[in-house]
Structure 1
């Protein structure tokens, strides 16, 4: 019998890639959950509504739940702390309680921003110390899922993400393309302070598919991350090189965020992926190289629109 897999946030950047990967594997019974977006195989549900969630699991009885839904934007979280807490902390805790009751395995997607960026690389058991509300809300989510006794849960921490998405603004990496493409003469100050490790959503999705076939016990906390360090300014330079566009309108800013309205961001939250690599998942991490993937993606995109 095929494993039944439920993916929350299945219309989001990461969730849609995970949903697609499980569907394309053709060996799973896959259900995608979305708040309002319509689509084949998607069920609309408000994850904050516990009664709705309980009814869904009563009827679907999944084997795995991949929880991708979240408020992922630090600036938005700062403006709506109550909403961020409900979605990033309260919902995962309830899903873990459901995992215990219905005996499914829950994978909670967390973030490298649970760390303060002062002493990388961070191992799964490193002390967390988030600097802003987004990171704190995700850490509360980790505490919530790990605090349910006898629940079969895995916390998978990932860094900033990129990959195919309907709009560039859906990803903190993809949106940098719009900056490079804006040749109107407008100047942009670009972060050259924080080191990021951009990670492809397709790679994460395929890894999760392979993870379901692992026969050995899975640690409670795993790290998945690209290995290449870039600041946002350096990512812009790569995009400019691939597209053959000038980049003098993009000005590197090596100072930490400051001033009214500035969201604190850690300097370097590199995730140590050694334990994940040692799991023995077929194909390992299976990661793309940033420059190579974008070269292929942008080249094929330009051909398809020519």
Structure 2
């Protein structure tokens, strides 16, 4: 089996690349464009000709997998990378017969009526969610493609620098003891999920060690709910530093003219739990948030 991971230099892509490499059951190839790394192949996913030429060489076929982890939040390029590229990859899946996994987001929902099931009505509130939903529709709209949409919430885990993750970056806020104060969101509930757990799940999915047929849309999420303010309190306790400079902000961001963000996009994962029947270590086997950071911050 061959496995290809796009965005393999990112926080999620790197974790998925390492998970498949460590499993030792597949020939793993990682793609990157923004970062040139020795173990990765540089391909511009926004260049259809270059992508087509790469796949003609890679020759993915039935039994092979492509995990599309590359994504973009910048408005000027988000629509193309998040919406157009997945559709092109789905067309290639149809041509060559490989299985495509498109990584999507809980932000395809508006956060007003959680929990959300795979077939719940979508209603993204901001650009990122809209472009990721467009990617879902493009992938699932290619008849004959072997495609799976995997929705995940906000991610954390091993990263070269805290700013690589919306959760890791809160460490910088907590560590800043200069006297500067921070208004920290205490309005929206998030379910931070470790990229290492997602990597392990995708290996099981590709290896077929799941129970039953995999549906076209699946959810993967850790169960613990936190606001960003609550995450900062956990970091402060683990680091043994003051947190008086961090002030809880309970107001709806949309009332202040900020980017509209959903209140609570809890993903229902019961269908995924059925696929992983018998898994140990809690819901989906996800590591505890405080437990993981307690060990990580000792390194």
TM-score range, shorter chain: over 0.9
Runs of 4+ in 1 over 6 A off after TM superposition: none
Partner of 1:70: 71
Aligned pair partner of 1:151 in 124, 145, 155: 145
**Unpaired segments of 5 or more residues in structure 1?**
302-306
Partner of 2:290: 291
**Is 1:122 the equivalent of 2:116?**
yes
Equivalent runs, 1:1-306 vs 2, <5 Å:
3-62=1-60, 63-71=64-72, 73=73, 76-77=74-75, 80=76, 83-214=77-208, 216-258=212-254, 262-280=258-276, 283=279, 285-299=284-298, 301=299
Q: Give distance in 1, aligned partners of 2:86 and 2:218.
A: 16
Contact 1:191 / 1:254 at 8 angstroms: preserved in 2?
A: yes
Deviation per CA, 1:4-53, whole angstroms, max 9, x where unpaired? Answer: 00000000110011011111111110000001312233110110111111
Deviation per CA, 1:114-161, whole angstroms, max 9, x where unpaired? Answer: 000000000000000000011000000000000000101000000000
> TM-score, length-normalised on structure 2?
0.94
Report the 3-state secondary structure (helix = DSSP H, G, I; strand = E; otherwise coil) of the residue aligned with 1:130.
Answer: coil
TM-aligned CA deviation for residue 262 of structure 1: 1.6
Report the 3-state secondary structure (helix = DSSP H, G, I; strand = E; otherwise coil) of the residue aligned with 1:166.
Answer: coil
> TM-score, length-normalised on structure 1?
0.92
Contact 1:210 / 1:282 at 8 angstroms: preserved in 2?
A: no
TM-aligned CA deviation for residue 179 of structure 1: 0.3
Contact 1:211 / 1:281 at 8 angstroms: preserved in 2?
A: no
RMSD over aligned Cα atoms: 1.3
Q: Give distance in 2, aligned partners of 1:224 and 1:280.
A: 11
**Unpaired segments of 5 or more residues in structure 2?**
none
TM-aligned CA deviation for residue 177 of structure 1: 0.3
Contact 2:185 / 2:248 at 8 angstroms: preserved in 1?
A: yes
